[in-house]
Amino acid sequence: MRLRGVQKTFREPGKPPVEVLPGIDLDVAKGELICLLGPSGCGKSTLLNILGGFETADEGTVTIDGQPVRGPDPRRVFVFQEYGIFPWMTVWDNIAFGLGEKRFEEKLEIVGHYIELVGLRGFEKTFPQQLSGGMRQRVAVARALAVKPDIIFMDEPLGALDSLTRLKMRAELLRIWQEEKPTILLVTHDVDESVQLADRVVVFSARPGRILEVVEVGIDHPREFGSREYTEIKNRLYELLGVKHAL
């Protein structure tokens, strides 16, 4: 994935224009897990929507595998903060939703694999309202993976979870990524989340969202929270975000 000079300004009649992205350059390699880190309102989600083809940049180019992004593509999927699963469908039906015209036997195999992968065996006939928040997010991740996407865009996918469930889901997401190796771009404003998960962390300024630095994490998984390398990277991210006394 290659971004060059991506700019976006929101305009509403009777209001001054709001510059969101002033010109973003970024390269993402196949199979990378990249976190987009920055304060709320800095343009991270807008950039993700441009990459996914749901919004159009005012200027600049976005190419994936050498082809310009002109709109949504079934090879690229989104996972949102609020789960995005259908409450009237069971776990099995939610995960199978994107499999379209595949033969039922093939669907059984695919859905069974991803139910096992995300730890939901035994909940196939359960409806979302009967699940915990963490389990619902597992359904969302499984549904995204089931269509074998090239890229998964995640917009604060763990933001609605309590702190303990969030820690567990980070570990689960990391395990799934290591097994499946899709390219993942994950929007977050959580420093620990970015250090725990990412190959590289793209740090944005407050709006308009400029890239302050792309920080290479370079620590083998699993990563120790209290290690010297972890702490150094964490403090560097806090420094870039303007927090002078990180814990």
**pLDDT confidence of residue 82:** 64
In terms of Cα–Cα distance, which of 97, 132, 92, 126 is closest to 112? 92
Tens of pLDDT, residues 9-46: 999 899 999 999 999 999 999 999 999 999 988 999 99
Average pLDDT of the residues of the chain: 91
How many C-beta atoms surround the C-beta of residue 97 within 10 A?
Answer: 15
* Pairing mode, strands 76-80 and 151-155: parallel
Higher pLDDT: 202 or 78? It is 202
Beta bridge partners of 35: 186, 201
- As a whole number of angstroms, the distance between CA 40 and CA 37 comes to 9
2 bridge partner residues:
27, 63
Q: Alpha-carbon Rg of the chain, whole angstroms?
A: 19
Over the range 182-208, which residues count as b (16 or more CB within 10 Å of their CB) and which as e? bbbbbbbbbbebbbbbbbbbbbbbebb
CA distance 170 to 192: 10
pLDDT in tens, 169-182: 888 889 889 988 99
Helix, strand, coil percent content, the chain, rounded in steps of 5:
35, 25, 40
Predicted confidence (pLDDT) at residue 243 exceeds the cutoff of 90: no
Residue of 213, 194, 191 whose CA lies nearest to 202: 213
